[in-house]
Amino acid sequence: MISMFERAGDFFESLQDQICETLEQLDGNAFREDAWKHTDAGGGRTRVLSGGNVFEKAGVNFSRIRSRFKPEFAHQIPGEGLDFSATGISLVLHPWNPHVPTVHANFRYLSRGESKAWFGGGADLTPYYLYPEDAVHFHRQWKEVCEKHGEVADFARLKKWCDEYFYLPHRQETRGVGGIFFDYLESDPEATFAFVQEAGRRFIPAYLPIAQKRMNTPSTPAERDFQLYRRGRYVEFNLIYDRGTVFGLKTGGRIESILMSLPMTAKWLYDWHPEPGSREEELYQVITQPRDWV
């Protein structure tokens, strides 16, 4: 019998192919692929598209590894023993146009020895200029997926989990307009795997129509500056709070793959505040007070 670890890994590897093929068609440029091996066992494929027509930087990672936790990190992870297996797909897309949102998604399966195994993942949208209909579309896609798998996925819970997870306490802001997030789902592996597969396949329908709609919207240098400023928040979250970043760094992961989520360009301004009544303030009203979109 094929283990859940291998089944999940095969799905995530195939999903990477499907997503990259669609994004290449949208952008008109191909991903660079780097196949790599973990220092213990397994490895992955990192695919990055830089300087494209739509995406300034886009990364789609797949990995499937077996390794051992360092004792000082092991107590932070559920289960017993030091041996673990992990497989997943992780992607971050940073567009050129400030009217096209950055987006993140990841889906993963981890097992710790024979004592613990679970799925985690999610997807969240980070717009620079707020288009409420885009946020509604994005959330509606995940709500539909959750409703089909209600025995393991409650949309209201996963949406709230996302708002709470992608939050920068030192800024008192969410990273964007949210989506869904989940971790440590283990009660029904088969039902959860079915949910994860449908969620993974739903990423393209959730994001592609938004990118296609906004990619040719005219933008100004001031809007580009604001995009770079908000990207700084993305960097802050990924380097300070993101579980995937911490996990990769603590388990001997490939550094270039771990940090592929960071944008090519970002900006930090001193004591900046949006002008009252501006499009920028409209975004801040949402990221400081998360909204129910569907």
Please report, in tens digits, the pLDDT of each residue of the chain (294 residues total): 889 999 999 999 999 999 999 999 999 999 999 999 988 999 999 999 999 999 999 999 999 999 998 888 888 888 888 889 999 999 999 999 999 999 999 999 999 988 799 999 999 999 999 999 999 999 999 999 999 999 999 999 999 999 999 999 999 999 999 999 999 999 999 999 999 999 999 999 999 999 999 999 999 999 999 999 999 999 999 999 999 999 888 888 899 999 999 999 999 999 999 999 999 999 999 999 999 999
pLDDT of residue 39: 87
- CA nearest neighbour of 85 among 185, 187, 8: 8
pLDDT of residue 78: 85
pLDDT of residue 22: 98
Alpha-carbon gap, residue 123 to 125, rounded angstroms: 7
Q: Which domains are present in the chain?
A: 4-287 (3.40.1500.10)
List 104, 137, 139, 149, catalytic entry: 104
pLDDT of residue 177: 98
Residue 186: in which H helix or E strand, if any?
Answer: none
Residue 139 is a catalytic residue: no
DSSP string, 84-128: EEEEEEEEEEEESSTTSPEEEEEEEEEEETTTEEEEEEEEEEE-S
